[in-house]
Amino acid sequence: MIQKVLKFFTLSIFIFLLLNTVPAFFYQPEINRNPLPSFYKKGVYHIHSTFSDGNGTIDQIARAAASLNYDFMILTDHGRPNVDAATSTAWKTFNNGKGGKNDVLVLGGTELSSIAGHLAASGFEVPGYLFPVEPQEEIDDIRHLNGISFLAHPFDDKVPWTDWRVKGFTGLEIYSSYNESAASGVFKFIDSPVEVFDRFEVCPAQNHALPIG
């Protein structure tokens, strides 16, 4: 009996390793052949720092953003709200190594957990209370506090958005570097982040349990 259990366990591990290793050898990230015009403002959204479960400080992440010539980054550290992240809006300036400087606008925000999933919010006035867990109430509060909100990873297998009756949110995520990385297999995901930012965040937020870098 014990031998059968051990064989089953060994076989399960082998299949798991096989399924998560083979895709890494065939994975090719998508390349944007049509970059945005220079007058567009480019940035990155849904970033986690050391204010919650990320691995990098705001300065480290902003420096990475500047190195990619991004104009802004939106922090979404976990909380109800995360006051440190939500009040971190500021300009960051870094030398670009070419005799000039790159400015990056850090926009404070937070990722709220509700009974329907996760809601990323930014630009709101920090309230003197905890945001509710009811999704429509969360969205309404963010709007009343002059903020914007996005349904985070709404179609994720692990933490999807489940209440599609809600109204008033600003938008929803349609792309996640986490999903892009996961498509390459678990080992490539761990060893070869798709973006520089993945070294400093737990990528948009499918499980927020696997820090990168």
Coil/strand/helix, residue 160: coil
- Supply the pLDDT for residue 158: 86
12-69: pLDDT as tens digits: 776 766 666 656 566 565 666 777 777 888 888 899 999 998 889 999 999 988 888 8
Contact 108, 122 (CB under 8 A): yes
Contacts 24+ apart (CB under 8 A), 186-191: 186/20, 186/21, 187/20, 187/21, 187/24, 188/23, 188/24, 188/27
- Supply the pLDDT for residue 211: 33
- What number is the average pLDDT over the span 168-187? 70
- Supply the pLDDT for residue 196: 36
Question: Residue 172 carries which DSSP code?
Answer: E
- Supply the pLDDT for residue 37: 78
Q: How confident is the model at residue 201 (pLDDT cuts 50, 70, 90)?
A: very low
Contact 50, 57 (CB under 8 A): yes
Question: Residue 47 carries which DSSP code?
Answer: E
Higher-scoring residue by pLDDT: 86, 53: 86
CATH, range 43-199: 3.20.20.140
CA distances from 149 to 60, 71, 110, 139, 200 (A): 25, 20, 10, 7, 23
- Supply the pLDDT for residue 113: 96
pTM of this structure: 0.71
Question: Is the pLDDT confidence value at 189 over 50?
Answer: no
Question: Residue 56 carries which DSSP code?
Answer: S
Q: How confident is the model at residue 202 (pLDDT cuts 50, 70, 90)?
A: very low
Q: What angle do CA 12, 14, 16 make, to 5 degrees?
A: 70
Every domain of the chain and the residues it spans: 43-199
Provide the residue count of the chain.
Answer: 213
Q: What are phi and psi of 6, to 5 degrees?
A: -65, -40
